[in-house]
Amino acid sequence: MHYLVLIKIENDKKRVFYQNKILINSWSIRELKKQISANLYENTSPKEIENTLKTTLPTVALEEIFKDAYNFNFIELPVKPDEKVFEDHLINDIILFLKEMGEDFSLLGRQVPIKIDSQTHHIDLVLYHRGIPCIVLVDLKTDKLDSRDIGQMNKYIGYYRKNKQYSHEKDTIGLIICQYAGREEIIYALDGLEEKIFIAQYKVKLPSDDTIRKAIKDL
């Protein structure tokens, strides 16, 4: 992943130079490593470096990136799944999951731990969007959205913005993917956070008749 190569560059100016070169020239990871090994930055004139740093990159509209609903019909969940089962299914089909998320998304980690006031929290999925560029924190919910879920996500975003993101990145964003979200719940809970936290519902393949019968029998 491009991000994992870029974060190893300690010099901010040099890192942004290579970041812009990736976006301008659509470099693959292999090409990026090749250019770094060839000391492209060191061998480029100061004037050209400044021009690269000043290059106006395409503006990515957030509302065009995050969907209102995601179609995860490539997985089949049990009738009453918990969030760990949901996450396992998505990770097992990670290529299809990222394809459904959209272009430029990559996976940085799952169940990523952060410590706040000596308490360890785990973020379900941490993604990276190359086009923005920024970190995207994902919280998976297998039931109805609760306003507390938004408060929790806002806390995680605050932590990442202060401790994890680099100076060349845009602010960290949160994405809550849930089974159902009430319209009024979203409006009031997100008041003032619309550009910070996005909410989407998911659709999955319906379980088989046998699975449904077994679940009913176990009730």
Residues 76 and 45 both lie in one domain:
no
103: which 2 tokens? 């272009």
Residues 142 and 95 in one domain: yes
- Same-domain check for residues 49 and 70: no
Domain count, the chain: 2
Residues 85 and 127 occupy one common structural domain: yes
Residues 49 and 68 in one domain: no
Same domain, 26 and 116: no
Regarding whether 46 and 95 lie in a shared domain, the answer is no
4, 54, 165, 166 from 10: Cα distances, Å: 12, 20, 13, 10
Does one domain contain both 48 and 147? no
Print pLDDT tens along the chain (219 aa).
566 688 788 888 898 888 888 877 777 778 888 899 999 999 999 888 888 887 665 555 566 666 677 777 767 766 667 788 778 877 777 878 888 888 888 888 889 999 999 899 999 999 998 888 889 999 988 888 888 888 899 999 999 999 988 888 888 999 988 887 777 777 777 877 777 888 887 765 544 545 545 544 554
Q: How far is it, in rounded angstroms, from Cα 187 to Cα 140? A: 20
Same domain as 193, residue 133: yes
108 and 16 co-located in one domain = no
Domain that holds residue 35: 2-54
Record the pTM: 0.57
**Which segments of the chain are extended strands (E)?**
69-76, 105-116, 119-129, 134-140, 173-178, 197-205
Which amino acid, one-letter code, is at 109? G
Shared domain for 148 and 210, answered yes or no, is: yes
Q: Are residues 103 and 84 in the same domain?
A: yes
Residue 177, burial from CB neighbour count under 10 angstroms (0-12, 13-18, 19+): buried
CATH (domain of 113): 3.40.1350.10
